Amino acid sequence: MKRSLKVFLTGLILSLFLGAPCAHASNPFAEYVYAADPSAHVWNGRVYVYASGDRTDAQEYDMTETRCFSSDDLVNWKDEGSVLRIADIPWASRHLWAPDCALINGVYCLYFPVHNKEGAPCIGVATSNSPTGPFKALPQPLSGVAGIDPSVFVDDDGQAYIFWAGAGLQGARLKPDGLSLDGPAQKISGAKEFFEGPWMFKRQGHYYMTYPALRPGGSGRGGSGQNYDYGTLTSPLGPLTYKGTFSTSELGGNIHGSQLEWNGRWLCFYHDYSTSVGLKKAGFKRALRVDELRFAPNGDILPLEWTTSGPTKLKNLNPYERVEAECLGAADIPEGEHAIRVEPCEAGGQDVGSLGNGDWMRYSNVDFGAGASTFEASVASPINGAKLELRLDSLTGPIIGQCDVPNTGGWQTWQKTQCPIILAKGVRDVYVRIIGEGTGDLCNFDWFRFTPRPK
Ligand code: FUB
C-alpha cells in the first residue's frame, strides 16, 4: 500500500473511532435568520442576546419584532424566537428597532425604540419574569425620552442608567423599578461624531461608552459605513473623554452592538450584512457576530479582530440530555434565502419548522464520551417517507444513523422516533439532514437526545 494512502486511511480510522477535533466557524451566528443591533447580558450561566428582527423581505428598517438568542457555550445558539411584537404594543406604529434588556429588582425589563401612532420616535418598556418573555409592554412610552437605541447600564451600587440616541448622546437615571426616569435627560458631551447605538460597560472601575460614529464625510448610514468608536467616563452621565475607533463596518452599512465580560473574557457582539451580500436591500438584512474584545495594558480598547470562528467554546454539548432542535451551531442558508424557520411549538418553546429535502442543522462540539448507541427525536409531519440523516463533522462525513420520520398527522402533532447509532465517540459536530421526496416541507423538529452505549 502506498504511504499516502496508508496515512489517509489511518487518519480516517482514527477520526472515526477516536473522535476528530471540531473546528467550525460560528461567525456570523444564527446565520439562518436576519437580525441586528445585539445587546448581550449574562444571567444564570447563559448569555442572552436581544436583537432587532430584520425582515427577510425588508425594504428599509421596517422591523416588527424583537428576537432573542441564548447560549451557554458561545457556539450553539438557542433561538428563543420573537419576544416582543409591534402588534403587542398598543401605542406603537412601526420601526421596532434596537432593543436592550436589564434585570432590575428581579424583573426583566426590555427597552425598545419604536415610532408611536403619530410617527414620533419613542422608547418603551416591556416586563417579564423570564429573560425570554413573554414581555408585556407598559401602556405608555417612557416620558422624557425622545430617540432611538436605548441601552441600560446597572452600576455596582444598583443604580440603573438609560442611554439613547436623541439630540446627540443622551442619558438619565432610572427609578429603582426601571420603569421611569429619575430626573431629566442629560446630554453627554465629548462623544465625537456620535451617531447612535450607545452602550456602557465598566472595567476595572472605569466606565466605557461605545457607539457607532459618523465616518469623516459620511452620512452614518448606507454605503458610507460607520466607525465603532468609544470613550471613557469617570461617572455614567459624563462627560466623556473620546478615545478613538476600535472597529468599523467593513461591508458598509451600519455597525451596532454591545460588550460584556464573561468568565474572564471580554466579548463584543455586533452585526454586519455578510449573509445578504448581493441580495436586494442587503443592508437591511443583517447578521449577528461575536468576537473577543481585547484591551491594551493602559485600558485602551484594541482594534476588534473580526473572525469566522468566533470566541473559543466555553464547553461541549451534552447529547445525553434533551437538546432543543433550535439550539444551533449552524444551519442551511441556500443562496441567502432561509431554508429553515424557527417557530413557536405547540408542545412548548420553539421548533425548527419548514424542513425540506436537503435542509440541515449543525450541533457543534457534541461530547459523545465513550460512545452513543441510540438517537431519539421529537418530530411532526403530515407527510410519509421523510428521514433524519445524521453525519459526523460535515455534510459528507460518516453517517452515524438514519431515523424515519413517521406521518404524525400534522405539523404540530409530535411523536418520538428512534434509531440505532454507530461510530459516534469523543467530541464531534453532528449534522442532521432531512431526506425525502419533492421540494416542499417535509417535517418539523422539536428536540433530540442520544443514549450512551452501555458500559
Ligand atoms: O436597526 C435599526 C437601526 O440601525 C438601529 O436603530 C441603528 O442603531 C442601526 O443599527
Q: What is the mean pLDDT of residues 26-52?
A: 96
pLDDT, residue 251, reads 87
CATH for 262: 2.115.10.20
Assigned domain for 131 exists: yes
pLDDT, residue 384, reads 95
pLDDT band at 49 (very low <50, low <70, confident <90, very high): very high
User: Could you tell me if 195 and 90 lie in one domain?
Assistant: yes
The rounded Å distance from CA 252 to ligand 1 centre is 13
User: Could you tell me if 216 and 338 lie in one domain?
Assistant: no
AA letter at 122: C
Give yes or no for residue 170 CB within 6 A of ligand 1: no
Assigned domain for 149 exists: yes
- In angstroms, the Cα distances linking 369 to 266, 366, 391, 451 are 30, 9, 17, 11
Q: Which amino acid residue places its CA nearest to atom 2 of ligand 1? A: 97
pLDDT, residue 2, reads 39
Q: Which of 149, 195, 247 best tests ligand 1's pocket when mutated (most atoms within 8 Å of CB)?
A: 149
Is 37 catalytic? The answer is yes
| Rounded CA separation 204/261 (Å) | 11
Q: Positive or negative, the Cα torsion across 82, 83, 88, 90?
A: negative
Give per-residue pLDDT as tens, 168-214: 999 999 999 999 999 999 999 999 999 999 999 999 999 999 999 99
pLDDT, residue 232, reads 98
Give yes or no for residue 36 CB within 6 A of ligand 1: yes
- Grid coordinates representing 358 are 436537503
**In the predicted structure, residue 337 carries a pLDDT above the cut 80:** no
Give yes or no for residue 35 CB within 6 A of ligand 1: no
pLDDT, residue 336, reads 47
| Rounded CA separation 127/112 (Å) | 11
Assigned domain for 197 exists: yes
**In the predicted structure, residue 307 carries a pLDDT above the cut 80:** yes
User: Could you tell me if 358 and 438 lie in one domain?
Assistant: yes
Burial of 235 from C-beta contacts in 10 A (0-12 / 13-18 / 19+): exposed
Of 364, 308, 319, 427, the residue nearest 75 (C-alpha): 364
pLDDT, residue 455, reads 83
Assigned domain for 302 exists: no
User: Could you tell me if 190 and 148 lie in one domain?
Assistant: yes
Give yes or no for residue 196 CB within 6 A of ligand 1: yes
Give per-residue pLDDT as tens, 361-413: 999 999 999 999 999 999 999 999 999 999 999 999 999 999 999 999 999 99
Helix-then-strand count for the chain, H and E: 1, 32
pLDDT, residue 182, reads 98
User: Could you tell me if 246 and 382 lie in one domain?
Assistant: no
The rounded Å distance from CA 223 to ligand 1 centre is 14
- How confident is the prediction for the chain on average, in pLDDT? 92
Assigned domain for 400 exists: yes
CATH for 412: 2.60.120.260
**Residue 232: which domain range?**
35-293
The rounded Å distance from CA 292 to ligand 1 centre is 22
The rounded Å distance from CA 97 to ligand 1 centre is 6
**Ligand 1 closest atom vs CA 52:** 1
User: Could you tell me if 129 and 221 lie in one domain?
Assistant: yes
User: Could you tell me if 275 and 354 lie in one domain?
Assistant: no
**Ligand 1 closest atom vs CA 54:** 1
pLDDT, residue 332, reads 85
pLDDT, residue 334, reads 60
Residue 359 is given by DSSP the state -
**In the predicted structure, residue 4 carries a pLDDT above the cut 80:** no
Return the SS3 of 270.
strand
Give the residue from 271, 293, 315 where a domain finishes: 293
**In the predicted structure, residue 340 carries a pLDDT above the cut 90:** no
Write the DSSP assignment of 96-153 as a string of letters. Answer: ----EEEEETTEEEEEEEEEETTS-EEEEEEEESSTT---EE-SSPPTT---EEEEEE
- Grid coordinates representing 356 are 425540506
pLDDT, residue 21, reads 46
Q: What is the domain count for the chain? A: 2
Burial annotation 112-133 (CB, 10 A radius, 16+ → b, else e): bbbbbeeeebbbbbbbbeebbb
| Given the residues 65, 73, 80, 196, the one annotated as active site | 196
Q: What is the mean pLDDT of residues 277-282?
A: 91
Q: What is the mean pLDDT of residues 271-291?
A: 94
Give per-residue pLDDT as tens, 139-166: 999 999 999 999 999 999 999 999 999 9
pLDDT, residue 19, reads 44
**In the predicted structure, residue 24 carries a pLDDT above the cut 70:** no
Q: What is the mean pLDDT of residues 422-430?
A: 96
- The position carrying cell 440523516 is 389
- Greater model confidence, 226 or 217: 226
Q: What is the mean pLDDT of residues 9-34?
A: 62
The rounded Å distance from CA 210 to ligand 1 centre is 14
Assigned domain for 349 exists: yes
pLDDT, residue 379, reads 98
User: Could you tell me if 347 and 437 lie in one domain?
Assistant: yes
The rounded Å distance from CA 367 to ligand 1 centre is 38
- Grid coordinates representing 354 are 419548514
Q: Which amino acid residue places its CA nearest to atom 5 of ligand 1? A: 98
Give yes or no for residue 368 CB within 6 A of ligand 1: no
| Given the residues 31, 37, 54, 332, the one annotated as active site | 37
User: Could you tell me if 338 and 211 lie in one domain?
Assistant: no
Assigned domain for 381 exists: yes
**Ligand 1 closest atom vs CA 61:** 2
User: Could you tell me if 247 and 345 lie in one domain?
Assistant: no
Give per-residue pLDDT as tens, 76-107: 999 999 999 999 999 999 999 999 999 999 99
**In the predicted structure, residue 261 carries a pLDDT above the cut 70:** yes
User: Could you tell me if 258 and 372 lie in one domain?
Assistant: no
Assigned domain for 230 exists: yes
pLDDT band at 218 (very low <50, low <70, confident <90, very high): low
pLDDT, residue 252, reads 86
User: Could you tell me if 129 and 212 lie in one domain?
Assistant: yes
